[in-house]
Amino acid sequence: IKKIAVFTSGGDAPGMNACIRAVVRTGIYYGCEVIGIKQGYQGMIDKNFFPMNRHSVSNIMQLGGTILKTARCLEFKTEEGQQKAYDNLKEAGIDALVAIGGDGTFTGAERLSRNFNIPVMCVPGTIDNDLYGTDFTLGFDTATNTVIDAIDKIRDTAESHDRLFFIEVMGRDAGCIALRAGIAGGAEAIMLPEKETAIDDLINTLEAGAKNDKSSSIVIIAEGDKNGGAYNVAQKVKEKIDYFDTKVTILGHLQRGGSPSSFDRILGSRMGFAAVKAILRGETRQMVGLRGNNISFTDLEQSISGHEFKLEEDLMEMSTILA
Ligand code: ADP
């Protein structure tokens, strides 16, 4: 392996830049050329390649987003698109790929390596923390901290006005951000896709709080919750009880941005470092993960669909008891 290319694809996540930096510097350390591909699979199709050196990644560790940009590329989902991408990689002399992204990105990388026999290593970059084979994905810690910061601020105003706030957070079909931010932010209730909450149960919780002289309440709702999002939950609660002064906040894309936490900077660095070392050992078609405090590897097929992602039951149980 002489020339390794790195790209980010799918949703951006804080910590991706730390990973890019690690891939570039590790590759160069071991005598490889490193190529950056801009805008993910779209960049492969458009030959958006550029050589990277140690200085290309100076001063990027602290930046959110991804300096390589990211894109969603429909053409790459077709066989013709994949062929074109591979022909361009070959023409540029690229021997191996490090892909940073979510399960869509992994699926693309899996196709490319299976059909054209090019080595790939994948790094889980998504704030949702919804990938099988790793305890944490890049960006999840930062996003959770961003949500906690928002909850704290909303708590100040909720408390001053004796209000009930419904806060909707990201996570797609997973409730990881909602659960952890809800616990750390002391939310009165957390509504998760993994554990359906009936509106009547939520009302019971809120009323019990009111009886205990709680003056403000915060309910965290994962965007994938089956009740249809924060506005719908607020509406359904208001139809049944009208004595709460309620407000809804949808945190939205601010959760994707910001300077990565130390955890995500270190995780990105470790994963990028491990990905390059694995490629140089001759490994391919793996996702780099973190299990416990150790770097782990999971077969790409398995990380994509082999197993269902599961939320921690113990945290779910604890959150209802501590709320
Ligand atoms: P994420 O990686 O965050 O899950 P997407 O699902 O949007 O984000 O996937 C990112 C990109 O990966 C897509 O725009 C597409 O180019 C590629 N991709 C996704 N699914 C497939 C697939 N089934 N086959 C080939 N490429 C895919």
Strand, helix or coil at 321?
helix
CA of 10 to the centre of ligand 1 (A): 6
Query: CA-CA distances (angstroms) from residue 41 to 65, 165, 201?
Result: 17, 40, 45
Neighbours of 109 (CB within 10 A): 26
Task: Give the sign of the dihedral formed by CA 126, CA 131, CA 133, CA 135.
Answer: positive
Judge whether residue 308 has pLDDT over 90.
Answer: no
Residue 307: predicted pLDDT: 62
Query: CA-CA distances (angstroms) from residue 130 to 175, 191, 244, 251?
Result: 9, 17, 34, 19
pLDDT digits (tens, 9 = 90+) for 147-198: 999 999 999 999 888 899 999 999 999 999 999 999 999 999 999 999 999 9
CA of 99 to the centre of ligand 1 (A): 11
Q: Which of 46, 103, 107 to mutate to test the pocket of ligand 1 (most atoms within 8 A of CB)?
A: 107
Q: What are phi and psi of 213, to 5 degrees?
A: 65, 25
Contact indicator for 66, 12 with CB cutoff of 8 Å: yes
For 323, residues 6+ apart whose C-beta sits below 8 A from its C-beta are 186, 187, 188, 189, 190, 205
pLDDT digits (tens, 9 = 90+) for 52-63: 999 999 999 999
Percent of the chain at pLDDT above 90? 89
Which candidate in 46, 87, 95, 128 is catalytic? 128
Cα–Cα distance for residue pair 42/89, rounded to 1 Å: 12
pLDDT digits (tens, 9 = 90+) for 7-37: 999 999 999 999 999 999 999 999 999 999 9
Q: What's the CA dihedral at 307, 312, 314, 318 to 10 degrees?
A: -150
Residue 124 β-bridge partners? 101
User: Is residue 128 among the annotated active site residues?
Assistant: yes
Cα–Cα distance for residue pair 112/282, rounded to 1 Å: 17
- Phi/psi region, residue 299 (left: phi>0; alpha: psi -120 to 50; beta: rest), is beta
Residue 306: predicted pLDDT: 61
Which residues sit with their C-beta closer than 6 Å to ligand 1?
9-11, 41, 72-73, 76-77, 101-105, 107-108, 111, 126
Model pTM?
0.97
Q: Which has the closest alpha carbon to 275: 129, 96, 101, 98?
A: 98
Beta strand pairing status for 3-8 and 189-191?
A: unpaired
- Reported as a pLDDT band with limits 50, 70 and 90, residue 305 is confident
Residue 35 β-bridge partners? 5, 51
Neighbours of 15 (CB within 10 A): 35
Task: Return the axis-axis angle of helices 313-322 and 176-184, rounded to nearest 10°.
Answer: 40
Q: What is the CA radius of gyration of the chain?
A: 22
What are the tokens at 217?
A: 């309440």
Residue listed under structure tokens 């949500």? 147
No. of helices (H) and no. of strands (E), the chain? 11, 11
pLDDT digits (tens, 9 = 90+) for 191-235: 999 999 999 999 999 998 888 888 889 999 999 999 999 999 999
Cα–Cα distance for residue pair 268/62, rounded to 1 Å: 12
Q: Which of 7, 8, 9, 12 to mutate to test the pocket of ligand 1 (most atoms within 8 A of CB)?
A: 9
